[in-house]
Amino acid sequence: MTSIDLSGIFPPLPTSFDRDENLLPDRIRFNIERLSQYDLAGFLILGSNGEQVLLSEAEKITAIAAAREALPEGRILLAGTGCQSTRETIALTRAAAAEGVHAVLVINPTYYKGNMNHDELVRHYFDVADASPVPVLVYNMPANTGMDMTARSVIAMAEHPNIIGLKESGGNVVKMGEVLRAVKPGFQVLAGGAGFLLPALATGAVGGILASANIAPGHCIDILRAFAAGDITLARELQHSIIPVNAAVTARWGVPALKAAMDHLGLYGGHVRRPLLPLGDDHHRQLLELMDNRELNLYKEKK
């Protein structure tokens, strides 16, 4: 089993669709090429911001292949491969590995919540990790799954040699600290939201997979660098300034807002896939007002 260094910032790319909700692989490549002007550690394709649950299996493979084609040398490509069954998760994980991803991010099954106890969850992740040709990251996203995996479960999962990290999107820094205190050396935690990036770093996270890194990559990197340099005052100022716009493109208005923000900045956000609906005019106006904050270092194409 091999490991990889996940230190740094990863944008969870939205999946590009046209007006008729058809997949646009060239726009996925376009976004990676533009965002790669920044010193990002890599990219996540098919995360929650990628509307993964709304794609067919064939579309998922096409999206992964497009991302891999555009990935610059030295960057890491992660792919979200969590499905409702262990069997399907393994199949998608193997297909993603065959397309050249470096690691997979696996969200927990959620439909049979009443049965998803500690033993079943740990067995699920162990079975996926046993079958995966690439390293596996656990993905805890309670806002979308309706389940919040415990530190005890994550610590047990971390015992598997092919499970190398955790994306924690619940914002519970106490849990992050519990996990990092107990797991094997080298197990890496990534913050799942820019709104709590600095607190996560303070507990031992190595970086983040952040929706806001699609629209403010330099800002997210600056928080990480300020923390690493010991400039906590600057890191705190940067952290505070990104909280409102990050909330807008995550918990408040979600993927439609993220795509609208990317369109506004000259990236490709494009259309969402139903049942999601595009951002309404009033919310769009409020979003642009938040993005007008001069303290924010938003995406700009470098000449």
Name the residues annotated as catalytic: 167
The three-point CA angle 184-189-194 to 5° equals 170
CA distance linking residue 168 with residue 105, whole number of Å: 11
Backbone angles phi, psi at 209, to 5 degrees: -105, 105
Backbone angles phi, psi at 299, to 5 degrees: -55, 135
CA distance linking residue 279 with residue 257, whole number of Å: 6
Closest CA to 144 of 50, 274, 270: 50
Is 242 in contact with 296 (CB distance < 8 Å)? yes
Backbone angles phi, psi at 301, to 5 degrees: -70, 125
Task: Report helix, strand or coil for 259.
Answer: helix
Structure tokens, 298: 């938003």
CA distance linking residue 265 with residue 60, whole number of Å: 26
Sheet holding 136-140, edge to edge: 8-10, 207-209, 188-191, 163-168, 136-140, 103-107, 76-80, 42-45
CA distance linking residue 229 with residue 67, whole number of Å: 32
* Chain centroid offset of residue 101 CA: 14
